Chains A and B, each alone.
Chain A
């Protein structure tokens, strides 16, 4: 029989902290089938474009005070700066980290004098899809220095914590074993540059926080609510982790 410590040797390598290896960000697009790649690339075939169009309609629809998003940001949102969009979530003295969706909701409430919508309301997802689509091709560039650091670290902690009865952490599937096969599926890095994404299997658009809830479900864990501090921190971390990847919204996924 081998000595007990001999059994540990093969694992010693595995225990080197993952942070020693810098992760080279890779878009999940790279792992799509040719068919799905073509679908995503072709605006006429990409079913997510229907949500972009719905977002555009909402963008041009007058709010309670008669103003529409378009009144301030241009008919097709052309006055919005793609570089700024790619920098979300941003840090704001008053609200802390602000995701793009929260920013849109703020405009909706303050500038159109409407009641703010619930996080991940259909309208907000459509508006976010439209706005992000405006910045397609722009490289994600989220600044996590200064007071944002704390939220980045909190998100990173969540990413590295085992959750649920399935007892795994995001980092296991999406970093340690990214590129390997889990059953039939090649594990991606969970980069979020394609969100909101169109899911072919359920024929619907899916927001980032809905995807988080889905992953919590898969792991048989208790999810947080969309727009919760935990998911916002996770979004901050995962956005910065993918800095440099081009925005692909609306991404198409299986």
Chain B
């Protein structure tokens, strides 16, 4: 059944183009096979780095820009003027590193729905089985634990 649906999907020429065509979000891109790391929130923050990993702000910036990864610019205005077309869906992230603590930033990236259940913002690191009907090629968290930490490290530089 699943196979037949996929086969069917790829029979639809216009559909294929549509998958790739939509602004900002494309279906292509690397998939990671990393083991999921459990995390715990205290209030509205995750104080401990995921898996005890250390983030790198330079890599974090790249993840934020990458349309297949963070794609944060689809919704947020950010101080990255070299990238065109930032979205107006979400509040600007300029200065967010002084507004929120590291732990608060981590929860927002991992699962903003803990802060606001109705938010449009995707959870970038919730338990993979908590995503509803993911395409078989995407049954993982959006970001790896390392990428989450990299993004946290980058946002902390936005003072």
Contacts and interface: CB of A to CB of B under 8 A. Distances in A.
Interface of A: 1, 4, 7-8, 11, 14-15, 120, 161-168, 172-173, 176-177, 180-185, 187, 199, 201-202, 204-206, 210-211, 213-226
B140 interface: yes
Interface in B1-58: 2, 5, 8-9, 12-15, 17-19, 21-27, 43-44
Contacts, number: 149
B92 interface: no
B115 A7 contact: yes
B95 interface: no
Contact of A177 (B12, B24, B120): B120
A-side binding surface: helix, strand, loop or mixed? Answer: mixed
A222 B134 contact: yes
A152 to B, nearest CB: 21
A224 B137 CA distance: 16
Greatest chain B CB density within 10 A among A166, A177, A183, A211 is at A183
A173 B15 CA distance: 20
A224 B118 CA distance: 24
B117 interface: yes
Contact of A214 (B18, B24, B136): B18
Interface in B96-142: 101, 104, 115-120, 122-123, 126, 131-140, 142
A211 B18 contact: yes
B62 interface: no
Greatest chain B CB density within 10 A among A168, A182, A215, A218 is at A182
B73 interface: yes
A187 B13 CA distance: 24
A226 to B, nearest CB: 8
How many interface residues does chain B have, given as a range? 35 or more
B118 A204 contact: no
Nearest to A172: B120
A216 B138 CA distance: 12
Contact of B131 (A15, A120, A167, A206): A167
A167 B135 contact: no
A182 B23 contact: yes
Greatest chain A CB density within 10 A among B18, B43, B44, B119 is at B18
Given A199-B14, A218-B27, 12 more contacts: A4-B43, A165-B134, A180-B89, A182-B87, A205-B14, A210-B12, A211-B18, A214-B21, A218-B18, A221-B132, A221-B135, A222-B133
A219 B137 CA distance: 12
A164 B137 CA distance: 10
Given A11-B116, A166-B25, A182-B23, A202 B18 contact: yes
Closest 7 CB pairs of A and B: A214-B18, A167-B122, A202-B17, A184-B85, A217-B19, A172-B120, A165-B138
Contacts of B19: 214, 217-218
